[in-house]
Structures are given as C-alpha cells and as structure tokens.
Chains A and B, each alone.
Chain A
Amino acid sequence: MELTGAQRIEAPREAVWQALNDPDILRQCIPGCQELVQASATAFTARVTLKIGPVKASFSGAVTLSDFDPPHRYRITGEGQGGVAGFAKGGADVWLEPEADGATLLNYSAQAMVGGKIAQLGARLIDSTSRKLAGEFFSAFAEIVAPPPIPAPALPSEAAP
C-alpha cells in the first residue's frame, strides 16, 4: 500500500535535516520503537513493539538510510521479522521544501508491506493502521524538532504498555 502526505514543521530546513539523521530523535518518533542502535553511518538495528487492538507483536529488524541529497531528501527503509506474527517492511522517500516564512514542508511517499499471519488477521485494518502510525511518527517528529512556543509541562517519555 502507498501512503503520501506532507507535514509542515516550524523549523528551518537545516534543523529538520539534522533531526532526520539523528538516531535518538528517530527512536523517539518511530511508534513503539524501544531500541535503535546505529550500526554504521546509514544503518541501524531496531526493536519495535506494535500494539494494535488485541494484537501485540515485537519486530526486530534493520533500518537503512539511502539516496542522500542533503539537505533535500533521502530514503528510509525498514524491514522486520515478528516471529510467528509475520514480517513487515516498508520504505519512505522523504523530501524537504523550504516555506516562504522559514518553516519547512516535509513531504513523504511511503510504501508498506506486511506478510504472514499478521497480514491475514489484519487485512481489514492494515491501511488504517499504517496511516495512524505514519501520523504518529510525523506529529512526534514535528513536536521534537519544533516544540510549541509556550513551554508545556515536561511529559514523561513514552513507555510501551
């Protein structure tokens, strides 16, 4: 399935680009990500637990960054095995466009694939779920890169239930 969209981020393009390459920020934004360890300049290993309704599955896998054109665009791909639950893989082309007022428009075009049992049971819901997860990623990303001007009380870091 395909997923395209754009998110406006109240920060200059350089800052958004830096954040897109910062494993610590990516870890905080990837929904359910418990661990993102840098293996090389462009490769990471990840552990992600997804909880959607009654389903709860942990995936371990690899995240790779490629097709670099700083500070304009790159491609992020991920592939994970969830044991008997099945597998998930996906990728997104991400490109940044400066806005007239100094903010940045983050565009994405993503593809996702799931297989195995999780795909059979969840066929009804994979699209909605992917959209929800993408939405969570980008809103968390926008929040970290460009926090709202009025300081909000510090939130406890997201803990997986």
Chain B
Amino acid sequence: MFDTALTLSDLMFLIQGAGMTLAVTFFAVTGGTLLGLVFGVIRAHVSVWVALPLIFVLDVFRSVPLLIQLVLANAFQAIAGLNMPPFATSSIVLALYTSAYCTEIVRGAIDAVPTVTRRAARSLGLTWGQDMTYVVFPIALRVALPSWIGLTLGVMKDSALVLWLGLIELLRAGQILVTRLQEPMFILIVVGAIYFLMSFPIARLGGRLEKRFREND
C-alpha cells in the first residue's frame, strides 16, 4: 500500500517550521494591527491632503511585492550595520506590510459608522475618546472583522516568503524534506494540511464572532 520515508522526527521538523510560521505571523499581525489602528484612525479623521505622506508610504508597502521588500529591508539593515537577526527583520517588514492593509480596513470600518450615530454620542456629552471607545470601535469591529480575518490568513501564508532570509518556517522545512526524501507530492500535502490546521481555527473563530454579532444587531 502507501509507503513513505517520512519519519516522526521529520514530522517534528515540519511542526517546528509551523511554529516559526506562527511566530512570524503573530508578530506581523499584532504589530500590523496596532499600527493599522493608529494609521486608520488618522486616515478616518484628517483630510486626504494631510494624510498624503502616510497614504504614499502605505501604498508602497501594498504595491511592492513582499519578496522584494524582505530582501531589500534585509540588505539595508546590513548596510546600516544594524545586525538585525532575520527573524526581527522579517517580523518588522511583515508588520508594516500588514499595517498597510489593516489601515484601509480600519478606515473603511470607521467611515461605516453613521455620522448621526457619532453626533448622538457627542451630543450626550461623550468626549471624542469616549465616542471612539464605546461607540465607534465596537460598531467598526463588526464591519472590520471579516476583512481582518482574511488579512490574518493571508499574512500567515505570505509569511512563507521569509524563507528567503534564511528562516526555516513551514514551507522551507517542507522544501528541505522534499530535497532529501524526493517525495514532493506527499510532503506538500502534509505541509498544506498543516497550513490548513493553523488557518481553520482562525477562520472558524471569525465565523462564530460574526454570527454572534448578527444575532444581536
């Protein structure tokens, strides 16, 4: 029947790679979301002209292929003598890349909160900060969540590109095994399955939250 040279320790090697993928994704999504929140709030509240420099920089991060960003960032940090480990470089680049998309999600979600709702909040005496905290963010969260889940899943898969800086994440671990064992089909199926197992809970969590929001609203 089915026969493979993949051993348990090879599988552990893949799972270690998956751990690296999760770690890079975690820092990228956390950092990117925090930055995206700040940039998105700025974008939603100042005129296009004031935000122009920010829009330009974020457009660069969205337009230039991630692979080029990673390689160039790694080269520049070396030239600048920063001696950053590849993991830090990768996390920072991915976080900026994530923040560029997250900014648009946040801006769109804040814009989706009706003006009259915000006016009602302010007319009750709530400060701008209280309006944002108790009214705008909770409403915007419902709007932003599906896109944000999509972004997170996308970043998890895009994070495979950090293998170019020498990080052994899930895809790179798979490649190494393919080279050694010469079983590309089977190993890629296993790697794909691990990606799926990591993505599925996030997608389901999003689905459940959305359902809960819908029941209320």
Q: Do A and B come from one complex?
A: no
User: Chain A: residues with CB nearer than 8 A to chain B?
Assistant: none
